[in-house]
Amino acid sequence: MHPISIAMITDFFHPNVGGVENHVYMLSANLIRRGHKVIVITHSHQPDRVGVRWLVPSLKVYYIPFVPIASSATLPQFFTFLPYLRTILIREHIHLIHAHASLSALGHEGILHSHLLGVRTVFTDHSLFGFDDAASILTNKLMAGTLKNVDAVICVSHTGRENTVLRGELFEKYDGKTSVRNSVYVIPNALVPERFQPCPPEPSDTITIVVLSRLAYRKGIDLLVAIAPRICAKFPNVRFLVGGDGPKLIDLLQMRENHLLQDRVTLLGSVRHNDVRSVLIKGSIYLNTSLTESFGIAILEAACAGLYVVSTRVGGVPEILPKDMISFANPDEDDVCDAIEEAIQIVSEGRHDPLRAHERIKTLYDWHQVTGRTEAVYDAVMASPQLDLSARMQRTMQLGVFAGPIYTIILIVDCLFFLLLEWWMPREDMDFVREHWDQDAFAELARKASKTE
Amino acid sequence: MAEEWEKVLWRRQDRPDNYAPPSFLSSLRRNANFRPYTYWPLVLLSCAITQHLATIFIFVSVFVRLKENYLDPHVLVCISVGCFFTGYLSWELLDRTGASHEHRHANRVKAVKSSILIFLALMSLSPVLRTLTAATSSDSIWALSATLFGVNALLADYSAMSFGGQMHERLTSVLSMNAAISASVVLASRLANDLAVFALILFSVQAFALFPRLRHRLGLCPSALRLAFTVVLSSISVLVTISLSRTATWIYSAVQLGVTFFAPAILVWAQKFKNEIRGPWDVAVPKVN
């Protein structure tokens, strides 16, 4: 593919850590490796991360001075981002923006504004949402509004795609028949297998079950609290190793106290992403009790580190691993217990080979392949014709009796605001970015600097 | 065509990434836990609301009569006491199946104690309550009490008690009772003498604090009894209002009929728009023994 300039826009980025943050960084790094130019636009972070920073390998990050309101997301405000975005996109000669995460207001705003500059748009949805609570209804409508005019949508699993298509109303009418828009893609997440090299524990009778997760209700910690004493009572050679922190920590502590399991259930507290492997390789079974999961990268990491996986059958989890590497259970206590018993049997009989599992995962999910598939999406988007303003207005009006006109007004006001900015801050007066990071020049300078010292 | 498409991510399949299989959205379930309402049970359930509206209108007409001196406060006190004993008797009858003997005995002692306490407290407070809003104009009082009664009707607990269910005092039902008592206090402060104030507040305690509890219990009674009770209460409320104002009676009767017969019909009709979506992406409910 011909190299292009891409801007990743998301509220969730380094220095915060998490699934989306890591995905955006890894995707950017791999796109740079393939010769594209990539920048990231995100909001500022406390205490002083604001302005332009560079990350290895030559990834430029714009930290816009917006303050996040809750869990690192900014307030949806529709217009305030436009002056910044316009300047950045023009300065950096961007061809395409790629917004991430459906709760990222910055990403949605990016999709809303980009067409004004003729920039193409791609959106990746990382999470699953329901349809029945007030928060979901509001955010779903907000998302449907922006996704009406997006050029392509990427989801991380097939279940995630079904969910996103319903939430974002991504249906199109082809000669009378309603079907899914053909610009909705499924591209899974990936991981760096070298970081999860297995290290089979010395043969011993003890079987360690590892749990690494945020200790919250949605992660099914209630199930863990219920099954841990049962498993410990049944198998005297089983230990639990729990990493993570959260509101349900207190329940785990109480369970440990009540059943006198201090020597068999170890609570590590929060584990940094760099230390995940060192925790994983201490065990031979990984337990995931999540109640909802769009992809489950933690499961993949564990499987890659050679652990046998036991998981609840929720969301996109059933899609990610072949049946012989994972045992499934319904989210109820008895079923999870049965699945763990099965797993203990498999592991103690030596029917699960960690090194072979690692080799398999290595070929299944690697960034090189994922980047290639993402590139194909960019290619298709760049080749497709761009919607003009009247088509955009028509599509926006389909949103509904109330939401349609509101979004159309926002669209028109946005155009007017853009015209105002064109007059007020003309393009001719801007400083364009002509130089980009040159690794060789940098190495040369670094060498010179060390010589003079 | 090549191999069968599978809903998996771990195997690269020779289809483009935007391939939508025929099985797309096959796990989507619409209105899975949906039990449609039928008309008559809804009408029966709306009886609780009708009864509540009736008590409010009876109370307001009693107030107007007291204010215009059509009604002797002594008579009202007697009626209140009579209502109290009737209500208490029916409460005891309904309670017979419930709690144990000792428990009920303790409850009875408590009830007698607190009714004497309320009686005395109201008596000593009524001179204060009579002059409470002397500095406020009557128009503000009408508006305030109308708002408070509105709040009372909106937040009231209309649920019926289920068998063996415990009584849960929800915040909204407490708020509702407070709104009604405040409304009666401000209305009472418009009356001329202490005895009238006392009689009205006593009546309001019966109507807005004790009656809703009894109504909650009545949910266990056979539906014919509940219907009969509703009809009697509504007729009383219409009869006491009609001699005061024709217009008010017309409006009130229209509201009563609307709440009882028209609103359930709208709900039954609106059910055809129900579209509840369930699928594998929903947050599972963990089952813990």
ipTM: 0.76
Give the residue from B11, B31, B3 showing the smallest Cα distance to A158.
B11
pLDDT at B163: 54
Search chain B and give the residue with CA nearest A165.
B25
| Per-domain boundaries in chain A | 5-190+367-440, 193-364
**Longest Cα–Cα distance in chain A:** 75
Amino acid residing at B229: F
pLDDT at B243: 87
Q: Is A12 on the interface with B (CB under 8 A)?
A: no
**Neighbouring residues of A449: CB distance < 8 A, sequence distance ≥ 6:** none
Pairwise CA distance, residues A303 & A276, whole Å: 12
pLDDT exceeds cutoff 70 at B73: yes
Pairwise CA distance, residues B259 & A225, whole Å: 48
Residue by residue, DSSP assigns B135-150 as TS-HHHHHHHHHHHHH
Domain formed by A193-364, architecture: 3-Layer(aba) Sandwich (3.40)
Q: Is A334 on the interface with B (CB under 8 A)?
A: yes
Contact A100, A126 (CB under 8 A): yes
| B286: chain A residues, CB-CB within 8 Å | 220, 222-223, 289, 291, 331-333
Tell me the pLDDT band of B169, cut-offs 50, 70 and 90: low
pLDDT tens for each residue of B13-37: 888 888 888 888 888 888 877 888 8
- Picking from B17, B20, B280, the nearest residue to A180 by CB comes out as B20
Tell me the pLDDT band of B168, cut-offs 50, 70 and 90: low
pLDDT at B187: 92
Distances (CA, A) of B99 to A279, A285, A323, A408, B167: 56, 52, 56, 63, 13
What does each of the 453 residues of chain A score in pLDDT, given as a tens digit? 789 999 999 999 988 888 899 999 999 999 999 989 999 999 999 888 999 999 988 899 999 999 888 878 888 888 999 999 999 999 999 999 999 998 899 999 999 999 999 999 999 999 888 888 888 888 899 899 999 999 999 999 999 999 999 998 888 877 777 788 889 999 999 989 888 998 876 777 889 999 999 898 989 999 999 999 999 999 999 999 999 888 999 999 999 999 999 999 999 988 888 888 999 999 999 999 999 888 888 999 999 999 999 999 998 899 999 888 899 999 999 999 999 999 999 988 888 888 888 998 888 888 999 999 999 999 999 999 999 999 999 999 988 899 999 999 999 999 999 999 999 999 988 889 887 777 788 888 889 988 876
Whether A5-190+367-440 and A193-364 share one fold: the answer is: yes
| A376: chain B residues, CB-CB within 8 Å | 17
**Residue B186: which region, alpha, beta or left (left: phi > 0; alpha: psi -120 to 50)?**
alpha
pLDDT at B76: 92
| A222: chain B residues, CB-CB within 8 Å | 286, 288
The CATH superfamily label for domain A5-190+367-440 reads Glycogen Phosphorylase B; (3.40.50.2000)
- Picking from B9, B17, B18, the nearest residue to A319 by CB comes out as B9
Do B286 and A222 make contact, defined as CB atoms within 8 angstroms?
A: yes
| A373: chain B residues, CB-CB within 8 Å | 17
The region of weakest confidence among A382-386, B11-15, B39-43, B181-185 is B11-15
Give the residue from B43, B7, B13, B41 showing the smallest Cα distance to B27.
B7
Tell me the pLDDT band of B255, cut-offs 50, 70 and 90: very high
pLDDT at A98: 96
pLDDT at B283: 86
pLDDT at B14: 83
Q: How confident is the model over B251-262, as a mean pLDDT?
A: 93
- Picking from B10, B24, B287, the nearest residue to A321 by CB comes out as B10
Which run of H or E residues covers position A362? helix A354-364
pLDDT exceeds cutoff 60 at B167: no
Pairwise CA distance, residues A157 & A127, whole Å: 10
Interface of A with B in 156-185 (CB under 8 A): 157-160, 162-163, 165-166, 179-180, 182-185
Residue by residue, DSSP assigns B206-270 as IIIIIHHHHHHHHTTS-HHHHHHHHHHHHHHHHHHHHTT-HHHHHHHHHHHHIIIIIHHHHHHHH
In a 3-state reduction of DSSP, which class is residue B276? coil
Instruction: Phi first, then psi: give them for residue A292, nearest 5 degrees.
Output: -155, 140
Q: Is A320 on the interface with B (CB under 8 A)?
A: yes
Pairwise CA distance, residues B166 & B94, whole Å: 14
pLDDT tens for each residue of B115-165: 899 889 989 999 999 888 888 899 999 999 999 999 999 998 888 766 555
Question: Token pair for residue A356?
Answer: 């072979």
Query: Mean pLDDT over all residues of chain B?
Result: 87
Rg (CA), chain B: 27
Pairwise CA distance, residues A292 & A331, whole Å: 10
Q: In B, what residues contact A, Cβ < 8 A? A: 7-12, 17-18, 20, 24-25, 27-28, 276-277, 279-289
Pairwise CA distance, residues A240 & A226, whole Å: 13
In a 3-state reduction of DSSP, which class is residue A315? coil
Pairwise CA distance, residues A368 & A247, whole Å: 37
Tell how strand A184-186 and strand A207-212 pair up: unpaired
pLDDT at B162: 61
Question: What proportion of chain A, given as a percentage, has pLDDT over 70?
Answer: 99
Q: How confident is the model over B262-288, as a mean pLDDT?
A: 88
- Name which of A129, A157, A158, A333 to mutate to probe chain B: the one with the most chain B Cβ atoms within 10 A of its Cβ: A158
Do A364 and B20 make contact, defined as CB atoms within 8 angstroms?
A: no
Give the residue from B81, B64, B191, B70 showing the smallest Cα distance to B126.
B191
Pairwise CA distance, residues B84 & B209, whole Å: 12
**pTM for the full model?**
0.79
**Neighbouring residues of A187: CB distance < 8 A, sequence distance ≥ 6:** A154, A155, A156, A370, A373, A374, A377, B17
In a 3-state reduction of DSSP, which class is residue A442? helix
pLDDT at B144: 94
pLDDT at B75: 92
Q: How confident is the model over B185-195, as a mean pLDDT?
A: 91
